[in-house]
Amino acid sequence: MINYSVIRRPNRKTASVQVSPSNQVSIVVPMDLPEERIAAIIKRKTRWIMNKIAINNEVKYPVRPKEFVNGESFAYLGRTYRLKILNGSSHVEFKGGYFRVSVPNKGKPDEAKLVKILLTEWYMEHAKTKLQERVRRFAQVMEVKHFGLTVKSLASQWGSCTKDGDLNFNWRIIMAPLRLVDYVVIHELCHLTYHDHSKEFWQLLERYLPECKELKEELRRTGALLTL
């Protein structure tokens, strides 16, 4: 038996089953879809769901969680950089191939917690700048128009597009190589034309990104590693 959560959304016309990197199964459905129909869809997709879970379990997670100590490596746009913790006012500087994080009273028990907070803020700020840049570039090429752009933490998605044309992105994507950032950006821009994952959607995505299937698979395999 598969445990799953149901997400009902207004104006949704089709059902979509999702499996997160942590193997949480959810199904996004129209507001009025009966529970028995939902259960039937899950049953029909059982083999696909189990395959996704099996693939997720093949991903090699970090041996241990980040400790936020000097010398630890952190990813940014597909490359890794060492952490240097300095004494000073709360600040992050990306310089000379290092994340230089200054914290007051260096060496205190809450040092690692503060370093994590500062690094997260830095990632979110730079993710927004980079994503705005890539969205502007590709939206012009694709001749589409979006409205808002938000960068935040998303539990099981790298991006989303609302029916009103607002784009949402997971800040963690900024840790990935630029090719994967662009995959997520172009994917969501295609949703401005097709709000589902229909055949027409994938044809449009492949038109602008011929290697989209390979990039999708790469992100699926490595996405769980893009975390603090």
Q: What residue segments make up the domains of the chain, in order of their start? A: 4-58, 73-225
- b/e code 172-209 from CB counts within 10 Å (16+ = b): bbbbbbeebbbbbbbbbbbbbebbeeeeebbebbeeeb
Q: Which DSSP letter does residue 83 get?
A: E
The rounded distance, in Å, linking the Cα atoms of 166 and 147 is 5
Report long-range pairs for 59-67 (Cβ below 8 Å, ≥24 apart).
Answer: 59/21, 59/221, 59/222, 59/224, 59/225, 60/225, 61/224, 61/225, 62/225, 66/116, 66/228, 67/112
End-to-end CA distance of the chain: 32
This prediction has a pTM of: 0.73
CATH number of this structure's domain 73-225, picked from the four choices 3.30.2010.10, 1.10.3720.10, 3.40.50.12780, 3.30.1330.30: 3.30.2010.10
% of residues, the chain, pLDDT over 70: 96
Lookup result for tokens 């997720």? 56
Q: Per the structure block, which two tokens stand in for 26?
A: 């959810």
Q: Per the structure block, which two tokens stand in for 196?
A: 């589902």
Per-residue pLDDT of the chain (228 residues; tens, 9 = 90+): 889 999 999 888 889 999 887 789 999 999 999 999 999 999 999 988 887 787 677 665 544 688 999 999 999 999 999 999 999 999 999 988 899 999 997 888 889 999 999 999 999 999 999 999 999 999 999 999 989 999 998 877 899 999 889 999 999 999 999 999 999 999 999 999 998 889 999 999 999 999 998 899 889 878 888 888
